[in-house]
Amino acid sequence: MISIYKSREEYGKALEYKGTKVRSFFEKPAPTRDIDLHKDMVLYLEDVSVSFDGFKAIDSLNLYIKKNELRCIIGPNGAGKTTLMDIVTGKTRPDYGTAWFGQNFNLLIHSEDEIARAGVGRKFQKPTVFENLTVFDNLELAMDSDKRVFPTLFAKLSSDDNYSIEIVLDKINLIQFRNKFAGSLSHGQKQWLEIGMLLMQNSQLLLIDEPAAGMTHQEIDKTAELLQLLRKEHTVIVVEHDMDFVRSLDSPVTVLHQGRVLAEGSMDKIQNNPKVVEVYLGE
Ligand SMILES: Nc1ncnc2c1ncn2[C@@H]1O[C@H](COP(=O)(O)OP(=O)(O)OP(=O)(O)O)[C@@H](O)[C@H]1O
Ligand SMILES: [Mg+2]
């Protein structure tokens, strides 16, 4: 990767800005740094449409997400929620419209891999952790290799790398489970581990699909706390069906229906919207 910085000083300042300690002259740029977020907008989708065999899965959709926002996307089955995430991550190309990550990253001309490297991380509904590795090793594997200090010179993790993993272990409530095999975790803990793996990639924008699915009440409460914590350093979009969970996040909600935004606002406002009641909550 070619550094976009003209000087180490400039590079160091950018690292400090990201809250990262300046560690090494040889450290490579982290992926999110060339995304221009100065207007505090992370995601712009405008007039986006995509059809599958003539069926409009996304229909003239507009969506704007600000930096450090936690946005819930709800909507009945087939509303287009997963397709929306597929468009943002480059998995599906829209037939029409524009999609920008920050001011300067056109999502429609980059590959899935480039979009992930630029700082868009996604967690699918089903946890995909490595069951026969420890929690710690899962996080280590997920670590953004560009962020590793001297990755090819030293096989062992540096103390800074260890520290980054400890920070994530703490955030995802798995400190005491660091040496347990991921396969021995509860379903909820696996979901947290997968969120932790996303955090190791240092993504600015996190897309999280149904994090509360299959969790106990206690785990759901902790997940809500975790997402609130994450929005301090990231921008988070959550797709979720569990209305109690969405309410507990206390964040703006976008309701999708037939590929369009049906309503947007607080959960209270949404729940009293007759159109929403008709298509979704009244089901
Ligand atoms: N690759 C595809 N080929 C054909 N049709 C598709 C494809 N992907 C999605 N669709 C259709 O587009 C519509 C939107 O699907 P999508 O998966 O985005 O909905 P969703 O809101 O995620 O639903 P759910 O809550 O059930 O996950 C559905 O009618 C679906 O069948
Ligand atoms: Mg879906």
Q: In angstroms, what is the span from residue 61 Cα to ligand 1's centroid?
A: 15
Evaluate whether 179 touches 135 at the Cβ level (below 8 Å): yes
pLDDT of residue 33: 52
Residue 93 tokens read as 């190309």
Pocket lining: 78 vs ligand 1, CB cutoff 6 Å: yes
Condensed to tens digits (0 to 9), the pLDDT of residues 238-274 reads 999 888 899 999 999 999 999 999 999 999 999 899 9
264 plus 199 within the same structural domain: yes
Q: In angstroms, what is the span from residue 73 Cα to ligand 2's centroid?
A: 11
190 plus 246 within the same structural domain: yes
Q: Is residue 267 part of a domain?
A: yes
pLDDT above 50 (res 19): no
pLDDT of residue 20: 39
Pocket lining: 57 vs ligand 1, CB cutoff 6 Å: yes
275 plus 168 within the same structural domain: yes
| Distance from C-alpha of 117 to C-alpha of 111, rounded to nearest angstrom | 10
- Which among 49, 51, 82 is the best mutation to test ligand 1's pocket, defined by most ligand atoms within 8 Å of the CB? 82
> What is the arithmetic mean of pLDDT over 112-141?
88
Beta strands 120-123 and 205-209: pairing type? parallel
Q: Is residue 88 part of a domain?
A: no
pLDDT above 60 (res 26): no
Give the residue, by CA position, lying nearest to ligand 1 atom 25.
77
Pocket lining: 204 vs ligand 1, CB cutoff 6 Å: no
**Dihedral Cα 10, 1, 43, 68, nearest 10 deg:** -50
Evaluate whether 266 touches 253 at the Cβ level (below 8 Å): yes
Task: Give the residue, 124 or 60, on which the prediction is more confident.
Answer: 60
Give the residue, by CA position, lying nearest to ligand 1 atom 1.
52
Q: Is residue 102 part of a domain?
A: no
Q: Is residue 84 part of a domain?
A: no
Residue 146 tokens read as 């560009």
Q: Which domain holds residue 137?
A: 69-77+111-281
30 plus 116 within the same structural domain: no
- DSSP states of 39-61 as a string? TSEEEEEEEEEEEETTEEEEEEE
Number of domain units in the chain: 2
Ligand nearest to the CA of 79: 1
| Distance from C-alpha of 61 to C-alpha of 114, rounded to nearest angstrom | 23
Q: In angstroms, what is the span from residue 78 Cα to ligand 1's centroid?
A: 5
Give the residue, by CA position, lying nearest to ligand 1 atom 9.
83
Q: Is residue 53 part of a domain?
A: no
Residue 7 tokens read as 């000087």
Residue 160 tokens read as 């800074």
Q: How many angstroms separate the first and last alpha carbons of the chain?
A: 50
Ligand nearest to the CA of 58: 1
| Distance from C-alpha of 83 to C-alpha of 89, rounded to nearest angstrom | 10
Pocket lining: 97 vs ligand 1, CB cutoff 6 Å: no
Q: Is residue 57 part of a domain?
A: no
Task: Give the residue, 30 or 79, on which the prediction is more confident.
Answer: 79
Q: Is residue 259 part of a domain?
A: yes
22 plus 124 within the same structural domain: no
Evaluate whether 282 touches 255 at the Cβ level (below 8 Å): no
Count how many residues are written for the chain. Answer: 283
* Residue 215 Cα distances to 72, 198, 218, 260, angstroms: 18, 19, 8, 29
Pocket lining: 81 vs ligand 1, CB cutoff 6 Å: yes
121 plus 168 within the same structural domain: yes
H and E: helices and strands count for the chain:
10, 10
Ligand nearest to the CA of 124: 2
Q: In angstroms, what is the span from residue 86 Cα to ligand 2's centroid?
A: 10
pLDDT above 80 (res 2): no
Q: Is residue 226 part of a domain?
A: yes
Evaluate whether 228 touches 240 at the Cβ level (below 8 Å): no
Instruction: Give me the chain's average pLDDT, please.
Output: 84
Cα dihedral sign, 76-63-222-120: positive
155 plus 249 within the same structural domain: yes
- Which among 48, 51, 56, 77 is the best mutation to test ligand 1's pocket, defined by most ligand atoms within 8 Å of the CB? 77
Evaluate whether 138 touches 130 at the Cβ level (below 8 Å): yes
217 plus 171 within the same structural domain: yes
228 plus 174 within the same structural domain: yes
Condensed to tens digits (0 to 9), the pLDDT of residues 128-172 reads 899 999 999 999 988 866 555 555 444 566 777 788 899 999 999
Q: Is 214 helix (H, G, I), strand (E, B) or coil?
A: coil
15 plus 117 within the same structural domain: no
26 plus 144 within the same structural domain: no
Ligand nearest to the CA of 92: 1
CATH number (domain holding residue 147): 3.40.50.300
227 plus 274 within the same structural domain: yes
Pocket lining: 283 vs ligand 1, CB cutoff 6 Å: no
Percentage of the chain beyond pLDDT 90 is 62
